[in-house]
Amino acid sequence: MKKEKVKDRIIRVASDLFYKQGFNSTGINQIIAEADIAIGSLYNHFSSKNELLKAYLLKEEQEWFSGFEEYSAKLSTPENKILSLVDYRKKLQGSSKFAGCHFIKIISEIGDGNPVISDFVRKHKEKQKALVKDLLVQYNEKRKSIDEEETVENIFLLLEGAVVMSTINKSTDSFDHIKKIIQGLLS
């Protein structure tokens, strides 16, 4: 088995802690202890806890998009890929035991108190919306019957709302409901 690099271990441990207990509730000393490293090792890789937070969010963003790409790779139609986005978000919620979206959690915790992080989160959500738009443009090439801007906004808001409701209710029912709504939007 390949040995985990110190930097990767720091990010993994910090990611788990930030997601489970929150950024503000996670101290540098706890990260150092759980990563089993010296304080110098942490600061050799990250100049601050905020730098570590950026690394965490970047890792989550990369995993989110590559995870969806892998999840939907075998699907050939844009409609199926749009609907698989609902299933992908549902899968993420289930695998996290309904802990919610990494990005929504961070922004709700830090607000606009850290403009670099809030801007990153905003851009991440814009990238997710752009993914929906790309899929919808492909879908609409043959149909030319859907108002793309409005439909993208509706699908995106339905997905985000389903994540929030799923987190609150500890259930994936909201995804089943929005899938039917999205199928209606696409018909």
CA distance 71 to 124: 19
Computed over every residue of the chain, the mean pLDDT equals 93
Helices (H), the chain: 6-21, 28-35, 39-45, 49-72, 78-95, 102-110, 115-143, 148-169, 173-186
Q: Pick from 83, 99, 82: which is nearest to 166 by CA? A: 99
Lowest mean pLDDT among 3-7, 49-53, 141-145, 149-153: 141-145
| Average pLDDT over every residue of 161-179 | 96
> Is residue 4 pLDDT above 90, yes or no?
no
Over residues 79-103, mean pLDDT: 95
Would you state the pLDDT for residue 1?
62
Q: Where exactly are the structural domains of the chain?
A: 1-46, 56-186
Query: Is residue 132 within 8 Å of residue 152, measured between CB atoms?
Result: yes
Q: What is the per-residue pLDDT for 112?
A: 85
Would the CATH topology of 1-46 be identical to that of 56-186? no
pLDDT confidence of 162, banded at 50, 70, 90? very high
pLDDT digits (tens, 9 = 90+) for 14-41: 999 999 999 999 999 999 999 999 989 8
- In CATH terms, the fold of domain 1-46 is Arc Repressor Mutant, subunit A (1.10.10)
> How confident is the model over 151-160, as pLDDT tens digits?
999 999 999 9
Residue 63 CA to chain centroid, in angstroms?
Answer: 8
Indicate if the pLDDT at residue 144 is higher than 70. no
pLDDT higher than 80, residue 6? yes
**Chain Cα centroid distance, residue 50:** 19
In this structure, what DSSP letter does residue 101 have?
A: -
65, 80, 62, 63: which is closest to 130 by C-alpha? Answer: 65
Whether 143 has a pLDDT exceeding 90, the answer reads: no
Please say whether the structural domain 56-186 has been given the CATH code 1.10.287.
Answer: no
At residue 26, the 3 state secondary structure works out as coil
